[in-house]
Amino acid sequence: MMRRLYFLFHSEAEAQAAASTLTTANIPTRFMHALAREGLNLGVLPQASLNQQRDLRAHLARFFWNRDLLIFGLALMGLIIALMLGAWIWATLAFALMIVTYNY
C-alpha cells in the first residue's frame, strides 16, 4: 500500500538527494512531485501538476470521510431512538445504513 508522504527541504540539493534515494528504493519518479515557491528552480525534480498542488484528492477523501461519519452518527442516533420506541423496521433500516457507511 502506498502512502502520501510530505518532505520539507532547505535546499534543492537535499531534495535531489531524497529523490535519488527514493529512486534507489524502487519508487518510480511518476509518484514523486515537487513544489516550490515562485521563482525557485526545481532543477531535475518532477514538478507537481495543478491538481496535485491543490491536493484535490486529499480534500475529496476528507470530505467523503466526514460525510460518511456524519451519516453513521445520524443512523446510530436513529437506531437508538427506534429501539427505544420499539420500531423494529426503522431500527433495521438504521442498522443497515450504518453497515453501508462503515464499509466505505
pLDDT tens per residue, range 1-55:
677 788 888 888 888 888 889 889 988 888 888 888 777 777 778 888 777 778 8
What global pTM score does this model have?
Answer: 0.55
**Nearest residue to 103 via CA among 81, 71, 58, 77:** 71
**pLDDT tier, 104 (very low <50, low <70, confident <90, very high otherwise):** low
- Find cell 528504493 and name the residue: 25
**What is the model's pLDDT at position 95?**
92
Three-state DSSP class for 47?
Answer: strand
Set of cell numbers at residue 26 = 524502487
Q: Give the number of other Cβ atoms within 10 Å of residue 40's Cβ.
A: 10
